[in-house]
Amino acid sequence: MRVLAKLSLAIATIAVSFALAPSAKADPINISSGGFSLSNLANATGGVPGMDALDGSAITITRNVNGTGSFVALLNSLTFTTGFTGADSGGPHDFTFSQLLTINGQTQVLNLVGRIDISHTVDTVHILSAAPLTFTFDSFSVIVNVIPMNLDGFGGTSCGRLKADITVTSNTAVPEPATLTLLGLGLAGTAAKIRQRRRRKAS
């Protein structure tokens, strides 16, 4: 019985130390995009070559995250160059493109879907969607969801930003310190109760 009581108290002590321990230090999340360059997105016969070009510059950022959580990260600074794309280029035009995305040294291909709408006065490029990417590491995973965006061009150059929601999740189910504390105290209490009953029977 003494062994059980000592074991319970040891567990309770460990649980309390977990509860009182300082929070784990922040883990850095390093994000690098490869960038992309698209041109002639809606160019018809008679248009000026190279017009309606969308360029996304490569970006590298670092964000410190405590445990799990989410934040918005910049993927690319965008430059949209518009001009005459031909008499028959009006209306919507769908396109797809891709770029490399690296998080903490792990690289995947980010495939995106876009559309450009051509009118007499305004050309608008839309980033519509992208399949979510999941980067899995030893103790956590990073999920990337691109945020849809629109960028208007009135002739010349316009600038914008392509961003993503970044969610960090834990891969291991670690009991909360409060749960460990309650478990330890419960075991210690049970051991004390059993010991008390045995003493009563012996006397």
| Mean pLDDT value across residues 13-28 | 54
Give pLDDT, residue 46: 80
Q: Where are the domains of the chain?
A: 28-176
Q: Where are the beta strands (DSSP E) in the chain?
A: 27-33, 36-38, 53-56, 60-65, 69-82, 91-103, 106-118, 123-130, 133-136, 140-146, 149-153, 156-170
User: What does the pLDDT average to over 169-182?
Assistant: 68
What one-letter code names the amino acid at 8?
S
Decide if pLDDT at 198 tops 60: yes
Tokens of 76: 């690319």
Q: Which residue has the higher pLDDT, 200 or 183?
A: 200
pLDDT of residue 7: 55
3-state helix, strand, coil in the chain (%, to 5): 20, 50, 30
Residues in Cβ contact with 14 at an 8 Å cutoff, skipping those fewer than 6 apart: 180, 184
- How far is it, in rounded angstroms, from Cα 32 to Cα 76? 10
* pLDDT tens string 31-70: 999 999 999 998 877 888 888 999 999 999 999 988 899 9
Averaged pLDDT, 154-177: 87
The CA radius of gyration of the chain, in Å to the nearest whole number, is: 29
How far apart CA 162 and CA 80 sit, in angstroms, is: 12
pLDDT for res 16? 47
Confidence of residue 202 (pLDDT cuts 50, 70, 90): confident
Global pTM reads 0.72
What mean pLDDT value characterizes the chain? 85
Contact between 164 and 75 (Cβ < 8 Å) = yes
| Cβ atoms of 70 and 165 closer than 8 Å | yes
* Residue written as token pair 């670092």: 62
pLDDT at site 179: 60
Each residue of 71-124: pLDDT tens digit?
Answer: 999 999 999 999 888 888 999 999 999 999 999 999 999 999 999 999 989 999
